[in-house]
Homo-oligomer: A and B are copies of this chain.
C-alpha cells in the first residue's frame, strides 16, 4: 500500500529538466552551437578557488575522523559562528551562532521551517511568480498554499490582495528576493509597506505572521540595486539561505536557517525547526563544507560574466520590443510573451531550438523565464531567433487586425 500523493510527486516530470534533456538530445542532431538552451538555473561561473583550496587543505592536513565525523546536528559551532560574524559585518544583524541552523541546502531548511509552523488549518502565503516547489513543501506539511497574483509588470507586491487573503490561519508569507523566476528584487519601500501590513494583521490576529525570506540569490544583484536584509525591516523574519548559487556549489548541499532573536518565540521556533529536521532524517550538513565555510563565509561571487550576459540579453530583447521585468538580481530574465501566452510562445521558440521556460508553473502564464547563466556566445547567437519570433507575432497580430 503506497502513499499516492508521494508517488504523484515522484512521478511528476520536471518540465524544466525535461526541456534541458530535450536540448541535449537535440544538440546531438543539429549541433550544440544551434541549440539555445535557457532552461536550467545552474550556476555558470566557477566555484571560487578559495573554496576548493580550503577543501584540499582540509583533506590533506586534517585528521580524517575529525574532518568527516559527525558534527552537531545544528552544525559545527565554528561554522555557525563564522556565518553569524559575516551577517553582523554586512547587516549589523546581531546574529549569534545560536541563531543559526545548518541544513543540506535552503530547501530542506525551508521545509523544516514550514513543518515547525504546521498547525491545524495553517496557511502559507506566496507571492507569484513563485518557486513551484513551495506548493509541494507546504502541502506535504499539511498546510494550505495561498497564492497572491503577480504584480505585472513591476513584480513587486499587490498589497490589497495580500490583505484580502491574510487570515487568522496565515502562519507565514514566503518571500523570494532576488526572485526566481522574475529576476526582480523587492525594494525597501515594498518591504516596509509589507512589514507595516503584517504588523497590523499580526496584532489583529493575536499571533505573529512570519516572513520566510528564501534567499539563495541574495548575492546575485546588479547595478545599484539593493537587497535589504529583511529582519532589519520586519523582526518576525526567518531567513533561509544557500551557498549553492553564491559559491556555485548547488550539488554540495550547504545552507542555513537564521532565526533572529527579534523573532517572536525565537528560541521555541528554532527548537521546532531542529525537531522538524530531525523528524525528516537530518543528521548534519556535509561536514567538509561546514569546515570550508569557516574560512569562506565572506566569499562573494564574481558577477562580471553574469552581468555581461544580463546586459547583452536585456538590451537585445528591449531593442526588439520585448517587455522584460526589471532584471536586478538572480540570473533570470522574465519576459512577456509577445502573443500573450508563454505556453504557445515557448512552443514556437522550441521549434526554432530556443528553449524557454513558460511562467505557468511559477504562477505567471503571460511571461517566460530565461536563465542567463550560460555562455555569452550562445546569447549572441540566439538573438536573431528572439527577433524572428517577435516579428512573426507582430505579423500575425497585424494580419488579425486587418481581418477584423
B-binding residues in A (CB < 8 A): 1-12, 40, 42-47, 52, 55-56, 59-60, 63-65, 67-71, 104-105, 107-112, 115-119, 122, 133, 136-137, 139-140, 171, 207, 248-253, 265, 268-290
The answer on a CB contact under 8 Å between A3 and B276 is: yes
Q: Given the known inter-chain contacts A122-B1, A207-B1, A253-B104, please indicate yes or no for A60 contacting B64, CB distance below 8 A.
A: no
CB-CB < 8 A to A140: which residues of B? 279-280
CB-CB < 8 A to A288: which residues of B? 55, 251-252, 288
Other than A8-B275, A286-B289, give 6 A-B pairs with Cβ distance below 8 A.
Answer: A2-B272, A10-B272, A43-B65, A69-B251, A107-B281, A139-B279
CB-CB < 8 A to A55: which residues of B? 55, 59, 288
Residue of B with least CB distance to A41: B70
Most buried by B among A10, A59, A108: A10
The answer on a CB contact under 8 Å between B281 and A137 is: yes
Q: Report the bound CA distance from A116 to B3 in whole Å.
A: 5
The answer on a CB contact under 8 Å between B122 and A2 is: no
Closest chain-B Cβ to A259's Cβ sits at a distance in Å of 11
The answer on a CB contact under 8 Å between A3 and B115 is: yes
Q: Report the bound CA distance from A67 to B286 in whole Å.
A: 15
Q: Given the known inter-chain contacts A1-B117, A11-B271, A65-B44, please indicate yes or no for A283 contacting B6, CB distance below 8 A.
A: no
Residue of B with least CB distance to A47: B64
CB-CB < 8 A to A115: which residues of B? 3, 6
Q: Report the bound CA distance from A249 to B283 in whole Å.
A: 12
CB-CB < 8 A to A265: which residues of B? 2
The answer on a CB contact under 8 Å between A108 and B280 is: yes
The answer on a CB contact under 8 Å between A10 and B281 is: no
The answer on a CB contact under 8 Å between B104 and A278 is: no
The answer on a CB contact under 8 Å between B69 and A1 is: no
The answer on a CB contact under 8 Å between B251 and A70 is: yes
The answer on a CB contact under 8 Å between B68 and A284 is: no
Q: Given the known inter-chain contacts A116-B3, A137-B279, A274-B10, please indicate yes or no for A46 contacting B60, CB distance below 8 A.
A: no
Most buried by B among A249, A265, A286: A286
Q: Report the bound CA distance from A269 to B176 in whole Å.
A: 33
CB-CB < 8 A to A42: which residues of B? 65, 69-70
Closest chain-B Cβ to A135's Cβ sits at a distance in Å of 10
Between A and B, 15 residue pairs with Cβ closer than 8 Å are A6-B279, A10-B271, A10-B278, A40-B70, A42-B69, A44-B65, A45-B65, A46-B63, A52-B60, A55-B55, A56-B56, A64-B248, A139-B279, A280-B281, A286-B286
